[in-house]
Amino acid sequence: MTHAPPMRKRPKGMGDHAYIEMLRADGPALDRNGFLWCFSHEHLLACVDPTVTRQVELEKMAALGLTSGPVYAYFANALLFANGAAHARRRGPLARAFAFPAMAALRPAIRQAAEALIRPHLGRETDFLDEIAGPLPARIVAGIIGAPEGDIPYFSGLVYDAMKALSRLSGAPEDEAGLGELTRYVGDLLAAAKGGFLAEYAVAAEAAGMDVVEARAQIVAVILAGSDTTRMALCSTLAQLIAHPDQWADFRADPEGMKAAVAAEGLRYDPVVGSLPRVAAADFALGDVAVSAGTVLAPSVIGALRDPAVYAAPDRFDIQREDHPRYHPVFGAGAHRCLGEALARIELEETLAALATLAPDAELIGRPPELRGLSAARSIDRMEARL
């Protein structure tokens, strides 16, 4: 067994994908300030194996010195940062509600919501990121949790402010205000729920042994986890379609038949998640590199989704691709596989199909949007389009 060599610094101006490919050539695993990075599909799966690794819990909060406040409470109570019995208790009451059959029943409503957002922008220039891609997932989840129609603009603003708080992680009260208000708003909805999804969830959460704080945190986690990633994926996938006119034409010719394949390839080609941080729970090996218990792992989703051992011509955007693994790596694996996978796929599929149908001549204005970041959720800068 060997120790991982140090990770090279990124050359100035090099993009995320080029940098990951450069690192892939340096070895199966590389050390970056005590974090162990790896870049293949095989090693991504190895790193999420619950027999040897666990989910990151409050390590980041400890490193930042945060011990209270809305951000700390989110990390301390959300299923995203829990393991074992705590994770099972928090995930169980949500799992059935977000299963594929339940989400499939929402497909017509999601299509209707997408078309309603798109139609007012047809024939004019629009800020696609903030006026279509951003509001859509917030509107969908608002409907699921029973937020009143009149609250949707307010609710969408809270979601956006909460996402900013989780990207900054400053602990400053002014940065955390949006997350605190969203948490309060969700708590009020839960307390007042008399029927539908939230009422059923409240009963299941109580039966699972969750208190009010813990139950509320899971709904906030579902809202935030799905909102930011979906808006980025919509922007990135539409931009790639427009940049490949032959494939855009193929999709426009059969939007209903191709929407699932288009969404899957968009999620692969430029994933909205850069890596899946984990902690080694036992000693194990990645190839010939020894991993010690306690090591923080950063298996690269970007690298796994362009692994030439899995994908033919991995750097090519190809909506006709037939070599996607059964379980798309962008949604993770094991017990922590994305709870909202079914909803995210349907939102992407129906919105992209609606765009192909209603806005067949869509074009970008200015430079294409760029997803950035190697760790956890990535970020997007802008996207303007003429629909």
pLDDT at 144: 87
Question: How many helical (H) and strand (E) elements, i.e. helices and strands, does the chain have?
Answer: 17, 12
Cα(275)–Cα(273) distance, integer angstroms: 6
pLDDT at 156: 86
The predicted-structure confidence for 73-99, as pLDDT tens digits, reads as follows 999 999 999 999 999 999 999 988 888
Cα(149)–Cα(243) distance, integer angstroms: 36
Cα(378)–Cα(329) distance, integer angstroms: 15
Phi, psi for 279 (deg, rounded to 5):
-120, 130
Strands (E), 205-342: 278-280, 284-286, 289-291, 296-299
Q: How confident is the model at residue 1 (pLDDT cuts 50, 70, 90)?
A: low
Q: How confident is the model at residue 2 (pLDDT cuts 50, 70, 90)?
A: confident
The predicted-structure confidence for 182-192, as pLDDT tens digits, reads as follows 999 999 999 99
The predicted-structure confidence for 24-62, as pLDDT tens digits, reads as follows 999 889 999 889 999 999 999 999 998 999 999 999 899
Cα(130)–Cα(368) distance, integer angstroms: 15
Q: Poorest-confidence range of 51-60, 125-134, 315-324, 332-341?
A: 332-341
> Structure pTM?
0.93
